[in-house]
Structure 1
Amino acid sequence: LKANEQSCDQSENANRTSVNVRIRKTQHSVLAHKFVEVMTEYNETQTLFRERSKGRIQRQLEITGKTTTDEELEEMLESGNPSIFTSDIISDSQITRQALNEIESRHKDIMKLESSIRELHGMFMDMAMFVETQGEM
């Protein structure tokens, strides 16, 4: 755009009535206008992305039980280093996973115990029936 503008200025100084100069000026004007539109759209998109990222991070932190201030979120987005908060999330995730494994292990043990109790109940029922049949003899 700058080169086009300088070329237009040089051509204008050489020949003010040339059709080519008017065409170049028009092209430069249109390109400059399009450039401004594209940059405006880019800035809007960048702002929208930043707000969405901020909202997503805020929700993720709320889900994990972490409360953060807007200043902390801004600091994280400015630094581009989300590990400030994710390290706590990862350690919480590992603790949660370990607790889940312990719960699953206890559940398996309880299921085995329940199965053993049912088997024992069956044995007592058989024993009661044997005692009753022996008493009749």
Structure 2
Amino acid sequence: MQTIYHDFVIDVPREMVFKAISTPEGLNNWWTFRCKGTPGLNEKYNLYFAEEYDWFATVSKFEENEVIEFSMTDAMDEWLPTQFGFILKKENTDHTYIQFYHKNWKEVSQEFRIASYCWANLLRQLKQYLEKGIITPFEERN
């Protein structure tokens, strides 16, 4: 199985990062078009991007302000049965070190490579959103 990794620092407190990666409001500001779900272990999320990308995931790991992992339950075939998650480490009161992963890809396919590139861009948008308040319109995200 293959894994995508991205590590980076965001210059805001860990609690702000966790809210942006675990709540529908936060996710909508940098990733999804429309998201529904409640942060918590075993909770279900609807990750809606477009009619043909109306996906679902379950929270498989959850430690408030430290870890969240989503297990994909309904998505395009290559995303099943992958999991993606965030591990947050407090650098100091105003800096958060993030370890992002997207694991259990069956192979290094074209979709794996596209997803890795897209995650890098989206995580940069997460950083811009939290540090500068910039919300990239959904149509301009990739």
Where relative contact order (Cα < 8 A, 6+ residues apart) is larger, the structure is 2
Structure with the higher fraction of residues in strand conformation: 2
| Structure having the higher Rg | 1
Same fold (TM over 0.5): no
Give the TM-score range, shorter chain.
under 0.3
Q: Taking structure 2 as the reference length, what is the TM-score of the superposition?
A: 0.21
Structure with more of its chain in helix, by fraction: 1
Report the TM-score when normalising by structure 1.
Answer: 0.22
